[in-house]
Amino acid sequence: MEEVIDGACLEGATVHTDEWRGYNRVGGRHRRLHRTVDHSGPKSTWAIDLDGDGVREVHCNTMEGTWTGLRNFLRQFRGVSKWYLAQYVAVFQWGHNIKRVTDEFLRCLLGIRPSTGSAS
């Protein structure tokens, strides 16, 4: 687990997880802040508001939602070859991470060179 976290976040980052024991060593020597949401028991929570401002800043459902999105994205292909899975995941990742589609972006995607702005 430590190798995965080392590759996914910088030293000093805050890592939010559930109460699974495998996450117990997330902070420690890597100087990361580790916040835990306890989903077990009768008073289970899905998010925690630590500073009382009404925003529940500690939650760990983001990755679960991302995996659901990837599964739904792959479902439309009715089966994916393991040889091309990384490429399908890369397309999903690109679509998930893009925040805004601009005209310039669409030109690049279509292979159209940007206009120079001079009329001849």
Q: What is the tens place of the pLDDT at every residue in 89-116?
A: 988 888 877 777 788 878 887 888 776 6
Q: Helices 85-97 and 62-75 sit at what angle, rounded to 10 degrees?
A: 120
DSSP letters, 46-58, are SEE-SSSSS---E
pLDDT digits (tens, 9 = 90+) for 48-101: 777 778 777 676 666 677 888 888 889 888 888 889 889 989 888 888 777 777
Q: Do the Cβ atoms of 22 and 33 come closer than 8 Å?
A: no
Dihedral (C-alpha) 7, 39, 60, 67: value to the nearest 10 degrees? 80
* pTM of the predicted structure, to 2 decimals: 0.44
Task: Please state the φ and ψ torsions of residue 106, each to the nearest 5 degrees.
Answer: -65, -35
Cβ neighbors of 113 (< 8 A, separation 6 or more) are 107
